[in-house]
């Protein structure tokens, strides 16, 4: 199996733009896919804004920023991904969207050695791999937000993933991207969300019941448990719609009541108050 040199990232939202950025900064040829030219340009602006923040903070030189941007190409046609060695799917956390994307990638990738990875945070990877014609080449690569800052990637092989693919992807994550990789079984939520989601849903239920205010819940966990961020602010950062999707996926798999999204979370998602990205969630973000 050859070295991974060409990378594709499908989806350039919050997660996809971060994955594309770190791959470009690692010296890789990166093709980014979106549903339309307009969405692709919006994704590019997101990457540029992140790189510019790195320059302003002194973590990145202007030369390195420009070099990273020169390695990025954007497209609205998945057919352009045919030559990629590795394609990372980072589309919306919805089963039908992900399976459609992976099925198409399985058809367009030319090399039989090409690897398809999903950045899913909760959907069992085998359920996604089953829609492709190369399930042995499909693996979970779960990054964390914000991708350029967070050091962890969960590696999630399925029952059919080739051992060579697992080793190759793990080496790529650790050596080329400079992240820490942990191995997770292919169960909804993997390692981190299996522990995190019940905690976050419990915080929503505590607020919903009137037991404590959002400010006091967050202050309690920050000052009492030395967490860097309270659970409700963390939900705002993740995005309430994403958190609901993850919780629903985990509840579907395990039928554990602690995983189920509380009514308050569902109502907030229906209202469009999704957290930082909309300026309002459990807290307000005037900026």
Mean pLDDT, consecutive 10-residue stretches, the chain (287 aa), reads 90 94 97 93 93 94 95 95 97 93 96 96 94 96 94 97 97 97 96 96 98 98 97 96 94 94 98 96 89
Tell me which of 85, 142, 168, 259 is the catalytic residue: 142
142 is known as an active-site residue: yes
Under CATH, to which class is 193-278 assigned?
mainly alpha
Tell me which of 119, 121, 122, 245 is the catalytic residue: 121
Model pLDDT, residue 1? 63
154 is known as an active-site residue: yes
* CATH of region 6-183, choose from 3.40.50.720, 3.20.20.80, 3.30.360.10, 3.20.20.70: 3.40.50.720
Tell me which of 93, 154, 168, 249 is the catalytic residue: 154
* Residues 232/203, Cβ–Cβ less than 8 Å: yes
Region(s) of the chain under CATH 1.10.1040.10 = 193-278
**pTM score:** 0.91
Tell me which of 17, 122, 162, 193 is the catalytic residue: 193
């Amino acid at each position: 199996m050859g070295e991974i040199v060409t990378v594709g990232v499908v989806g350039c939202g919050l997660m996809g733009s971060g994955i594309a950025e770190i791959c470009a900064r690692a010296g890789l040829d990166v093709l980014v896919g979106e549903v339309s030219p307009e969405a692709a340009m919006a994704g590019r602006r997101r990457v540029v804004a992140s790189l510019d923040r790195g320059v302003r903070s002194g973590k990145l030189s202007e030369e390195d920023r420009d070099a990273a941007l020169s390695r990025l190409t954007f497209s609205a046609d998945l057919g352009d991904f045919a030559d990629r060695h590795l394609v990372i799917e980072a589309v919306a956390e919805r089963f039908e969207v992900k399976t459609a994307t992976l099925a198409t990638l399985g058809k367009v990738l030319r090399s039989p050695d090409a690897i398809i990875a999903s950045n899913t945070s909760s959907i069992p990877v085998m359920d996604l791999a089953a829609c492709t014609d190369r399930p042995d080449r499909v693996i979970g690569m779960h990054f964390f937000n914000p991708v350029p800052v967070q050091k962890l990637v969960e590696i999630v092989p399925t029952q059919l993933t080739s051992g060579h693919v697992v080793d190759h992807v793990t080496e790529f994550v650790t050596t080329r991207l400079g992240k820490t990789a942990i191995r997770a079984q292919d169960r909804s939520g993997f390692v981190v969300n299996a522990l995190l989601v019940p905690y976050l849903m419990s915080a929503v239920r505590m607020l919903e019941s009137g037991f404590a205010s959002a400010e006091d819940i967050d202050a309690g966990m920050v000052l009492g448990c030395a967490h860097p961020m309270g659970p409700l602010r963390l939900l705002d950062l993740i995005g309430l719609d994403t958190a609901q999707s993850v919780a629903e996926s985990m509840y579907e798999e395990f039928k554990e009541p602690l995983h189920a999204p509380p009514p308050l979370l569902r109502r907030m998602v229906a209202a469009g108050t999704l957290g930082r990205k909309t300026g309002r969630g459990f807290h307000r973000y005037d900026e």
